[in-house]
Amino acid sequence: MSINLEAAFIYGLKMNNRVGKYQRDGGEELDFNYSTANYSRNLSSIEDMVVDGREFVFSKQEFDKLDLTYPKRQDVIIDDDLGTLTISEVIEMIAMGKLIGFRVRTS
């Protein structure tokens, strides 16, 4: 039996899907599907200051639709409920040696 981890990952994300906008360098706001991580938490930032932050997860397949390279710090996710959130950290999600998505932390 073959298990497709990427397909399972994408299916799981669709169950918790949000629709918002993704913006880079003040450019065009692009429609974007993403999921919230299962928690929000306080993040430690420069000089151990504590800031409110959230985490989001999205598939590489979804990000490829934006016609951008990898997500990067200072990119913005615009969510109708949560407002404008600036990405402060990007973590690659790899399954069986293949990049399948990203977890981003915002502050």
CATH for 61: 2.40.10
Which residue range is the domain that position 59 belongs to?
5-106
Structural domain count of the chain: 1
65: its two tokens: 């639709």
DSSP character string of the chain: ----HHHHHHHHHHTTEEEEEEESTT-PPEEEEEEEEEEEEEEE-GGG-EEEEEEEEEEHHHHHTTT-SS--TT-EEEETTTEEEEEEEEEEEEETTEEEEEEEEE-
pTM comes to 0.82
> pLDDT per residue over 14-55, tens digit each?
888 999 999 999 999 999 999 988 655 555 555 666 666 789
